[in-house]
């Protein structure tokens, strides 16, 4: 029999219900995504998180940041059943039962929650239901389900039947009830479990423990009785979880002290700060605006809350499908790849530099794992693994060991990302405490990995981003990022090391690294022996232009694009087309750029809730594909917005190249561009391009525009008029 409660929760004010049910204002329409139906594949439901906990709406899993189960390549996010997957199944009134099929589903981006609505009217009875689900952004150990009921004309009690579809038992934990009351006045149902397997016993001496608390003690079915004549009713179900039982208890106590409106306000305040700090405003294309906002929202959901009730636990990075997924192979087991640094981090750094710092800190904190990985494969220094999880050792899926062995570009990719982040922040303390230790040890690995034939340095038995070609020599992308990484290691040593003399071998490799180039055809062959016309999986050589920013002529760059655009697989991932768009913009091929920009999102975004797929409709691919979102946002910020970061000696430089209109829009603004502790907006409209300083930091910055120099002050505003703008630290 289902459990029953009589009016177990307190009523809510009518004003709360009324305000929540009002239609969105015109200003918020770009932040509300509505659908009258669910996607046929529930993998494309929204994935929500707060950096500590994550889940997919109506899915069967909850995941906690940094908690993995399984040995080596079998390590994957440790799944908790989705006890928050609650929904009203039916309502009984008098002699009839009403099955609840929601009228509408909404993803509310600005406030950071998902809701489903139902309304019924017959024989004088008027009934409105709203159900909400969200991971709390301030109380980030808490997941919230809320039910709001408004009913008039009922002369008998309503029996509301809730169902819980948590899915099967956890494959990662054996849970048992915890008897500790932690000196709290109220008892909560508490489960305690430890992961069954450790990822790498040498670096993980203990299993990961977890405590899960529930505000109410019921499973599967629950019946709530709403007394006759009660017009407003509220019920909530709260889950808290942490490795520390006391933290989970305290979080539950404090959440339940809040009235509904104050609890919700604490959550929405954090999301409002996010949108105030960064947003992209689109004119004349509401659909694109929603896709952009949803993409930023899904990416931010897997990042840790920046202001929390209790200090955050260490953060374990961004996986290609986010924190709310990770048990399945299709979700990349929740591991970290080069996707983080090359595809997602440039956009994340514009959201908030603190988030970028936390992503880099994950790599810094796992240098021991990278050293272990280098040593186990016969090399020196730090070799970051192709797939990284809890320990930072190699945890590649057992299907594909050759990828881990050959895609060595991930280590210099990380250093390349450090090199591009430093000029954006000009944070010398970070450069020396985080970037330098990573760059130094990666450089040592690269020195031990290259081969010198007396004339040139080579890299053999490698695989570039194009995974269709294995065991190649001198993949040009890999060799270039190795060169870039050693240049940056030399730069950071000069600033951060006690001795300023540079290791001769680093500079020697930079100067003699073999970079394949066909002089006759004026293009870069992908690797030694590559034949023009061979199919490639995804963007590889074209990445030399952007994001690598390798110096070459525009004709060479255009020839690279023309050679590889026709041979890149149709089934390739979304972000490849975004990179084609950016690079075609840089060589002034607008028609091609617009084509690839639209191709990069149009067939990858599912219509109901703007959730991304790794591959286009018709091909299998991962859902909630944050890598594709990262590439798409770079296409707008760094492509059409023209924003690039460089080192200028020991000064930092932000260049705003020629800006371009986004196709199918009337104009747009990128608000919250971060550079050298200041914040800017860039507005691109038909009447011109305007750069404004929104917040001035404590570093002095000058603008060079049209051979004139201007000091940047708070509220500075400049019309760029199609000219290239250079902002430099002084």
β-pair partners for 644? 655
End-to-end CA distance of the chain: 73
List strand residue ranges (DSSP E) for 231-278, in order: 232-242
DSSP state letter for 23: P
List strand residue ranges (DSSP E) for 333-463, in order: 451-452, 457-458
Instruction: State how far the Cα of 623 lies from the Cα of 641, in Å rounded to an integer.
Output: 28
Q: Give the DSSP H or E segment for 630.
A: helix 626-634
Question: Catalytic residue at 225?
Answer: no
The active-site residue, picked from 225, 246, 254, 467, is: 467
- Tell the residue number behind the tokens 């191709």, with chain if given: 599
Instruction: State how far the Cα of 583 lies from the Cα of 260, in Å rounded to an integer.
Output: 49
Q: How far is CA 346 from CA 66, 343, 359, 418, 638, in A?
A: 22, 7, 11, 10, 9
Q: How far is CA 47 from CA 210, 280, 610, in A?
A: 22, 21, 11
What is the token pair recorded at 447? 């020195």
Supply the DSSP string of 92-139, one letter for each residue: EETTEEEE---SEEEEETTTTEEEEEEEEEETTEEEEEEEEEEE-SSS
Helix (H, G, I), strand (E, B) or coil at 210: strand
Q: Between the CA atoms of 665, 272, 49 and 36, what dihedral angle is there, to the nearest 10 degrees?
A: -60
Beta pairing, strands 32-35 & 104-108: antiparallel
The angle at the Cα of 555, spanning 552 to 557, to the nearest 5 degrees, equals 55
Question: How buried is residue 699: exposed, middle or buried, by Cβ count under 10 Å (0-12/13-18/19+)?
Answer: middle
Instruction: State how far the Cα of 504 lies from the Cα of 484, in Å rounded to an integer.
Output: 16
Instruction: State how far the Cα of 251 lies from the Cα of 240, in Å rounded to an integer.
Output: 7
Q: Tell me the catalytic residues.
A: 467
């Amino acid at each position: 029999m289902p459990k029953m409660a009589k009016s177990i929760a307190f009523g809510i004010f009518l004003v709360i219900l009324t305000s929540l049910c009002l239609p969105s204002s015109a200003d918020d329409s770009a932040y509300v995504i509505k659908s009258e139906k669910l996607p046929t594949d529930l993998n494309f439901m929204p994935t929500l998180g707060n950096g500590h906990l994550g889940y997919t709406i109506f899915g069967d899993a909850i995941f906690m940041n940094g908690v993995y189960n399984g040995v080596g390549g079998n390590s994957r996010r440790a799944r908790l059943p989705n006890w928050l997957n609650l929904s009203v199944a039916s309502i009984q009134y008098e002699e009839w039962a009403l099955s609840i099929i929601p009228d509408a589903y909404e993803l509310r981006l600005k406030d950071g929650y998902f809701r489903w609505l139902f309304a019924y009217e017959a024989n004088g009875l008027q009934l409105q239901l709203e159900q909400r689900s969200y991971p709390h952004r301030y109380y980030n150990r808490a997941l919230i389900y809320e039910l709001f009921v408004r009913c008039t004309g009922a002369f008998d009690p309503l029996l509301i039947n809730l169902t819980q579809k948590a899915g099967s038992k956890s494959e990662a934990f054996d849970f048992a009830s915890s008897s500790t009351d932690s000196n709290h006045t109220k008892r909560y149902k508490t489960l305690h479990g430890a992961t069954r397997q450790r990822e790498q016993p040498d670096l993980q001496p203990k299993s990961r423990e977890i405590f899960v608390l529930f505000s109410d003690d019921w499973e599967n079915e629950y019946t709530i009785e709403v007394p006759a004549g009660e017009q407003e009713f509220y019920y909530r179900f709260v889950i808290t979880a942490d490795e520390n039982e006391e933290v989970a208890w305290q979080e539950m106590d404090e959440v339940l002290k809040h009235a509904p409106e104050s609890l919700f306000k604490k959550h929405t305040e954090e999301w409002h700060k996010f949108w105030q700090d960064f947003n992209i405003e689109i004119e004349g294309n509401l659909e694109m605006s929603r896709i952009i906002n949803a993409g930023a929202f899904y990416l931010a959901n897997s990042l840790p809350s920046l202001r929390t009730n209790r200090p955050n636990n260490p953060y374990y990075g961004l996986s290609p499908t986010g924190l709310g997924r990770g048990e399945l192979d299709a979700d990349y087991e929740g591991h970290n790849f080069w996707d983080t640094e090359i595809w997602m981090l440039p956009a994340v750094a514009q959201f908030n530099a603190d988030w970028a710092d936390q992503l880099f800190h994950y790599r810094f904190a796992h240098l021991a794992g990278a050293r272990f990985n280098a040593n186990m494969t016969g090399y020196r220094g730090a070799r970051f693994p192709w797939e990284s999880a809890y320990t930072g050792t190699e945890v590649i899926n057992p299907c594909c060991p050759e990828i881990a062995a050959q895609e060595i570009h991930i280590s210099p990719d990380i250093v390349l990302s450090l090199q591009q982040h430093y000029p954006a922040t000009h944070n010398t303390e970070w450069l020396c405490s985080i970037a330098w230790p990573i760059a130094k040890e990666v450089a040592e690995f690269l020195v031990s990995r290259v081969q010198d034939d007396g004339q040139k340095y080579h890299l053999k038995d490698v695989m570039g981003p194009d995974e269709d070609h294995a065991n190649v020599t001198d993949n040009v992308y890999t060799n270039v990022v190795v060169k870039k990484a050693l240049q940056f290691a030399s730069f950071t040593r000069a600033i951060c090391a006690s001795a300023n003399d540079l290791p001769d071998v680093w500079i020697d490799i930079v100067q003699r690294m073999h970079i394949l180039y066909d002089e006759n055809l004026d293009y870069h062959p992908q690797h030694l022996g590559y034949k023009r016309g061979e199919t490639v999986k995804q963007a590889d050589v074209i990445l030399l232009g952007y994001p690598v920013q390798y110096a070459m002529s525009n004709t060479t760059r255009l020839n690279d694009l023309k050679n590889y655009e026709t041979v890149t697989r149709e089934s390739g991932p979304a972000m490849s087309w975004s990179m084609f768009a950016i690079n075609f913009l840089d060589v002034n091929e607008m028609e091609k750029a617009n084509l690839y920009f639209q191709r990069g999102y149009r067939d990858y975004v599912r219509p109901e809730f703007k959730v991304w797929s790794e591959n286009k409709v018709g091909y299998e691919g991962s859902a909630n594909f944050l890598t594709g979102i990262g590439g798409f946002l770079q296409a707008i910020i760094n492509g059409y917005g023209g924003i690039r970061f460089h080192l200028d000696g020991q000064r930092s430089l932000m260049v705003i190249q020629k800006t371009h209109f986004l196709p199918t829009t009337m104009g747009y603004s990128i608000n919250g561009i971060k550079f050298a502790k200041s914040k800017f907006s860039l507005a691109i409209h038909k009447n011109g391009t305007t750069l404004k300083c929104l917040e001035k930091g404590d570093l002095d910055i000058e603008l060079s525009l049209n051979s004139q120099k201007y000091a940047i002050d708070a509220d500075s505003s400049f019309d760029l008029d199609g000219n290239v703008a250079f902002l430099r630290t002084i």
